[in-house]
Amino acid sequence: MTEKKTVISEVECFSLADTLECGQIFRFVRVGEGYSIFSADKHCYARQYGRTVEITTEATDYFLRFFALDKDCKSDYEKLRAYPELTAAADASCGVRLLRQNPFEMIISFIISANNNIPRIKGIIERICEKCGDKKEWGYAFPTRERLAALTAEDFAALGAGYRAPYLYAAARTVTDEFISDVTNSDTVSAMKKLLTVKGVGPKVADCIMLFGLGRGDTFPVDTWMEQALATDELDTVAKIRAHYLARYGALSGLAQQYIYHYNRNVVGKNRRDRAR
DNA sequence: TTCCAGGGATATA
DNA sequence: TATATCCATGGA
State the nucleotide closest to A115 in CA–C1' terms.
Answer: C7
Predicted confidence (pLDDT) per residue in A19-53, tens digit: 999 999 999 999 999 999 999 999 999 999 999 99
Residue nearest the C1' of B11 (CA based): A273
Q: Is the CB of A114 under 7 A from strand C?
A: yes
In the set A74, A79, A204, A240, the catalytic residue is: A204
Q: What is the pLDDT of residues A97-133, one digit of tens each?
A: 999 999 999 999 999 999 999 999 999 999 999 999 9
A117 touches strand C (CB under 7 A): yes
φ/ψ of A81, rounded to 5, equals -60, -25
A204 is catalytic: yes
What is the average pLDDT value for chain A, to the nearest integer?
95
Q: How far is the CA of A153 from the C1' of C4 (A)?
A: 30
Residue nearest to nucleotide C10 (CA to C1'): A200
Q: Are the CB atoms for A21 and A70 separated by under 8 Å?
A: no
A2 Cβ contacts chain C strand, under 7 Å: no
- Do the Cβ atoms of A16 and A30 come closer than 8 Å? no
> Which residue minimizes Cα–C1' distance to B10?
A117
Instruction: Judge if the beta carbon of A276 is closer than 7 A to nucleic acid strand B.
Output: no
Q: Residue type for A253, please?
A: S
* Residue A206 Cβ < 7 Å to strand C: yes
Nearest-nucleotide field for A117 (CA, C1'): C7
So where are chain A's domains? 4-72, 103-213, 224-276
Q: What is the identity of the amino acid at A160?
A: G
pLDDT given at position A1: 73
Residue whose CA lies closest to nucleotide B4 C1': A163
Rounded to whole angstroms, how far apart are CA atoms A259 and A82?
Answer: 13
Query: Whose C1' is closest to the CA of A165: which nucleotide?
Result: B6
Measured at the CA of A80, the angle between CA A34 and CA A109, to 5 degrees, comes to: 50
Number of helices (H) and strands (E), helices first, in chain A?
A: 16, 7
One of 1.10.12, 2.40.160, 1.10.1670, 2.30.30 is the CATH number of A224-276, namely: 1.10.1670
Range A103-213 has CATH code 1.10.340.30: yes
**Nearest nucleotide (C1') to alpha carbon of A224:** C7
Q: Report CA(A265)–C1'(C11) in Å, whole number.
A: 33
> Which residues contact residue A194 at a Cβ distance below 8 angstroms, ignoring those fewer than 6 apart?
A179, A182, A183, A186
Q: How far is CA A72 from CA A13, A24, A59, A118, in A?
A: 8, 20, 21, 30
Q: Mark residues 26-85 of chain A whose C-beta is closer than 7 A to nucleic acid strand C.
A: none
A185 or A273: whose pLDDT is higher? A185
pLDDT reported for residue A20: 96
Give the whole-angstrom CA distance, residue A88 versus residue A102: 31
Architecture of domain A4-72: 2-Layer Sandwich (3.30)
Angle between helix A238-249 and helix A253-262 axes, rounded to 10 deg? 120
Cβ atoms of A44 and A31 within 8 Å: the answer is no
Chain segment A159-178, per-residue pLDDT in tens: 999 999 999 999 999 999 99
The CA distance from A65 to A59, in Å, is: 10
Q: For strand C, is any atom closer than 7 Å to the CB of A109? A: no
Cross-sheet strand order for the sheet of A52-57: A4-8, A52-57, A42-49, A34-39, A28-31
Residue A58: which pLDDT band, with cuts at 50, 70 and 90? very high
The answer to whether A277 CB sits below 7 Å from nucleic acid chain B is no
pLDDT of residue A267: 79
